[in-house]
Amino acid sequence: MSLNVSNLTVHHGAICAVSRVSIAVPTGKLAAIIGANGAGKTTLLRTLSGLKTPTNGSIMWKGEKIAGIKPEALVRRGISHVSEGKSVIPELTVRENLELGAI
């Protein structure tokens, strides 16, 4: 299993943005996170990439616990987060935009 998220909860102050989410994505497979505005999709992805700290639960990447690891260390493990919209540099390829996370 490449990614295994178990019982993940994330708060923004007093607000629970993600509540007890579990997902497993096997090696070589893709997953999509869908939901309404404000459902916690971005918070989940920011937590997986180390930009937010989970309140509870675990995140395993290739068998290693990664919750709480700094984003720059996660980039070295192959995990990065590129925001939508203004944060993407349109003159660069998708790969080049993702590689910027390592800088």
Domain covering 3-102 in this structure, CATH number: 3.40.50.300
Query: What is the average pLDDT score of the chain?
Result: 89
Nearest to 28 by CA among 59, 58, 62: 62
Convert the pLDDT of each residue in 79-101 to its tens digit: 888 776 667 778 888 888 777 76
Radius of gyration of the chain (CA): 14
Convert the pLDDT of each residue in 38-51 to its tens digit: 999 999 999 999 99
| Greater model confidence, 62 or 102 | 62
Domain-wise residue ranges, the chain: 3-102
Convert the pLDDT of each residue in 18-42 to its tens digit: 999 999 999 999 999 999 999 999 9
Strand-pair partners of 84: none
Single-letter code of the amino acid located at 86: K
What separation, in Å, do the N-terminal and C-terminal C-alpha atoms of the chain show?
28
